[in-house]
Amino acid sequence: MRVGFEFVKTIRHDTYPAIDPSKADFGGQVVLITGASRGIGQATAISFAKAGASGLVLFARSDMSTTKAACEAAATRPGQSLKVLTLSVDTSSTSQVSAALVTAKETFGRLDVLVNNAGYSEPHALLADSDPEEWWHTWDVNMRGTYEVTRGCLPLLVESKGSQTIITVTSVAAHGVVATQASSYGMSKLAQVRLAELLMNEYGDKGILAYAVHPGAIVTAMSAGVPENMKPFFVDTLEVAADAIVWLAKERREWLAGRYFSCQWDVEELESRKQEIVDGDKLKVRMVI
């Protein structure tokens, strides 16, 4: 099965020097993160604070006071001034996303990086046993939510002419690693991988860089619902995902844009295969015939 686990030799389960956010400089930049109240979203916000971001726009439906305090505590660089804007948003709602982005633009006047992290997985069940409301709610969060926020942010990302980066947190489940059950989750994550490629086709000439990112196998509130036989595989830390996302955004990586990236891959080994990836048009979903 081609799921990319061993695309590079060294697999990382925790953060390491090459992705240390203290080596990045996001001074003057504004980063928007969805699903920021806990888990990967919260850890990513903290990593961007460590990386010197000047502004964080955090979307979630639940309380974000802990995330905000942690980000402010992490912003320890000399001369660094971090402003954190937290907004209660249902990302699948056009009106709520639009209103929140008006506030974000009024507050910061720009946007440089978007991290589509908000996600949901229905309870694992065979298709005939699944709950239709739960099944479609997964699509509402994972795909409509990603669409709504990306659609709303694109004009500001293009206008700001900064990093112009869109990172969507997908999953190795997009590649069929979970062969049965959780069908809505796997299918919606596959759609997110294709969305990154579509964004490059439509907005690459305007400077947009889009990536689909597998964060790793991490114990979170969402992953707690996986079957017992899968739980031993969830050994990665939040930091390996958060810090790898910062590494991905800290410079323009056209050679990787529109493609799938795993936070478990050693980034120095991945960079050594840059030409191979470009020449072979690798890390994209294709039919094999």
Q: What DSSP line would sit under 173-239, residue for residue? A: GGGTSS-SS-HHHHHHHHHHHHHHHHHHHHHGGGT-EEEEEE--SB--TTGGGS-TTTGGG--B-HH
Vertex 104: Cα angle to 101 and 108 (nearest 5): 145
Residue 67 sits in a domain whose CATH number is 3.40.50.720
If we measure between CA atoms, which residue out of 50, 42, 46 comes closest to residue 77? 50
If we measure between CA atoms, which residue out of 197, 286, 211, 215 comes closest to residue 253? 211
What are the backbone angles phi and psi of residue 11, rounded to the nearest 5°? -105, 130
**Would you state the structure tokens that stand for residue 40, as one six-digit string?**
């990967």
Catalytic residue numbers read: 185, 189
Q: Residue 215 falls within a domain, yes or no?
A: yes
- pLDDT single digits (tens) 40-65: 999 999 999 999 999 999 999 999 99
Q: How many Å apart are CA 102 and CA 105, to the nearest integer?
A: 5
Q: Residue 79 falls within a domain, yes or no?
A: yes
**Would you state the structure tokens that stand for residue 222, as one six-digit string?**
């969402």
The pLDDT assigned to 230 comes to 75
Q: Residue 287 falls within a domain, yes or no?
A: no
Q: Residue 84 falls within a domain, yes or no?
A: yes
The pLDDT assigned to 234 comes to 83
Q: Residue 12 falls within a domain, yes or no?
A: no
Q: Residue 123 falls within a domain, yes or no?
A: yes
Distances (CA, A) of 283 to 3, 211, 234, 242, 256: 10, 11, 23, 21, 8
The pLDDT assigned to 181 comes to 86
What domain range includes position 259? 17-279
In 3-state terms, what secondary structure has residue 57? Answer: strand
Q: Residue 258 falls within a domain, yes or no?
A: yes
Q: Residue 7 falls within a domain, yes or no?
A: no
- Spans of the chain below 50 pLDDT: 1
Report the chain's mean pLDDT, rounded to a whole number.
95
**Number of independent structural domains in the chain:** 1
- pLDDT single digits (tens) 236-280: 999 999 999 999 999 999 999 999 999 999 999 999 999 999 999
Q: Say which residues have a Cβ less than 8 Å from residue 148's Cβ, sequence separation at least 6.
A: 91, 92, 93, 94, 97
The pLDDT assigned to 222 comes to 72
- Per-residue DSSP letter, 123: P
| Structure-token match 């690798």, residue found | 282
Element housing 145 (H / E): helix 145-160
